[in-house]
Amino acid sequence: MKIDELELRRVAMPLVSPFRTSFGTQTAKDILLVRVVVDGEEGWGECVTLPDPVYSPEYTDGAVDVIRRVMAPALAGVEFAGAHMIGELLGHIKGHRMAKAAIEMAVLDAELRAAGRSFARELGAVHTTVPCGVSVGIMDEIPRLLDAVDAYLDEGYVRIKLKIEPGWDVDVVRAVRERIGDDVQLQVDANTAYTLRDATHLARLDEFDLLLIEQPLEEEDILGHAELARLVRTPICLDESITSAQTAAAAIRLGATSIINIKPGRVGGYLEARRIHDLAVANGVPVWCGGMVESGLGRAANVALAALPGFTLPGDVSASDRFYKTDLTEPFVMRDGHLTVPTGPGLGVAPIPEVLDELTTWIEPLRM
């Protein structure tokens, strides 16, 4: 195999409503897409960077730069056996996992389209549908949050995730739990907003029977998470801290996490995500698929990943209309709280040309 064409494209996708977390508020998504042609077959990848390095060290302009100046030249004219070699071919480049993941995803899409195989089959999916959870951002007031939660439950979402930060946590969770009752799955996500000094305060969340507290401390504080896990009853789930199967193994061994949120972009691609899944299953650790407000391209791949056997908790694999009025692909529509796993070749979806053209803000073909 050889990459004949590699094109970078940015699209601007307005959100249906602002999405606020502890590190900022999004009103639109500036998405970097990678299009490749491999031996005549087209494939698409989606880079999940944000405009600024606030979730991870990576950011979109940086991803453009490293793909343009370093990654594309490293792959130009190189023959390889399959997408599984992309990580090795780019292995000399430190970090930049989200950029690497986007290229790997595009090459894997092209490879599987040519072979007539789906992402789900390639990754090892065992389910035809996956349950949908929804991530609910920080809002100005609790009544508005309760209305939003009510609406998501009415739509059929089977799990609610609340973004939290200091000052928007215990009282908020109490209000939501009282509104939705004890039968609805509820979890919280801090996006590194707390320190170990907040352990006593975070322990107040134990009374609400949460599935988990996601990434309460900063990403490098593995030992702090291990200590926090001994001080609270609610299971600790790591997100930002898990960047590879190696870091996942260390976190499990140290007792820093009993659940893992797998985000393929954060760990360098869907093949590394599968390795983390396999590691977690071997250690009896549940996993779930996190989201980065992807378009239908990234959503298709995430749904395929979430259909693997170790994904026993609902992930952030919401319907297209959770974030976008118009998706780049045919929309993912939730039915009975689930999304259907695509079965077509590759991702099983592709950009709708007229929608892609309308939302595109910039294109740059790279020499291969």
Instruction: Give pLDDT tens digits for 276-333.
Output: 999 999 999 999 999 999 999 999 999 999 999 999 999 999 999 999 999 999 999 9
Say yes or no: 105 and 212 in one domain. no
Strands (DSSP E) contained in 192-280 are 213-214, 236-238, 259-262
163 is annotated as an active-site residue: yes
Do 153 and 10 belong to one domain? Answer: no
- Looking at residues 69-91, what average pLDDT do you find? 97
Longest C-alpha distance within the chain, in Å?
60
Structural domain including 107 reads 3-116+351-366
pLDDT tens per residue across span 296-305: 999 999 999 9
Whether 142 and 248 share a structural domain? yes
Could you tell me the pLDDT band of residue 169, with boundaries at 50, 70 and 90? very high
Assigned domain for 107 exists: yes
311 found inside a domain: yes
Pair (48, 88) in one structural domain: yes
> How many angstroms separate the Cα of 136 from the Cα of each of 167, 170, 177, 188, 346?
16, 15, 14, 9, 30
Q: Are 41 and 101 contained in the same domain?
A: yes
Residue 124's pLDDT is 97
- Residues 125, 178, single domain; the answer is yes
Output the domain CATH number for residue 209.
Answer: 3.20.20.120
* DSSP-derived pairing of the beta strands 287-289 and 259-262: parallel
Q: Which of 29, 100, 161, 263 is catalytic?
A: 263
pLDDT digits (tens, 9 = 90+) for 199-222: 999 999 999 999 999 999 999 999
**Average pLDDT over the chain, rounded to whole?**
96
Residue 85 resides in a domain = yes
From 29, 100, 161, 163, the catalytic residue: 163
What's the rounded Cα separation, in Å, for the pair 79 and 76?
A: 9
In the residue annotation, 325 being an active-site residue is answered as no
135 in a structural domain = yes
Question: Could you read off the pLDDT of 6-54 as tens digits, one per residue?
Answer: 999 999 999 998 888 877 888 889 999 999 999 999 999 999 999 999 9
Residues 140 and 77 reside in one and the same domain: no
Do 236 and 166 share a structural domain?
yes
Q: Kindly state whether residue 104 falls inside one of the protein's structural domains.
A: yes
* DSSP 8-state secondary structure symbol assigned to residue 331: P
345 found inside a domain: no
Is the same domain home to 112 and 138?
Answer: no
Q: Structure pTM?
A: 0.95
pLDDT digits (tens, 9 = 90+) for 43-62: 999 999 999 999 999 999 99
Residue 288 shares a structural domain with residue 313: yes
Whether residue 129 sits in one domain with residue 112: no
Going by C-alpha positions, the residue among 336, 270, 259, 343 that lies closest to residue 46 is 270
346 inside domain: no
Residue-wise pLDDT for 239-257, tens only, equals 999 999 999 999 999 999 9
Considering only CA atoms, which of 33, 29, 65, 61 is closest in space to residue 47? 33
Question: Is residue 264 located within the same domain as residue 359?
Answer: no
pLDDT digits (tens, 9 = 90+) for 114-125: 999 999 999 999
Residue 100 belongs to domain with CATH number: 3.30.390.10
- Please tell me the total count of domains within the chain: 2
Residue 166 belongs to a domain: yes
- DSSP structure string for 173-189: HHHHHHHH-SSSEEEEE
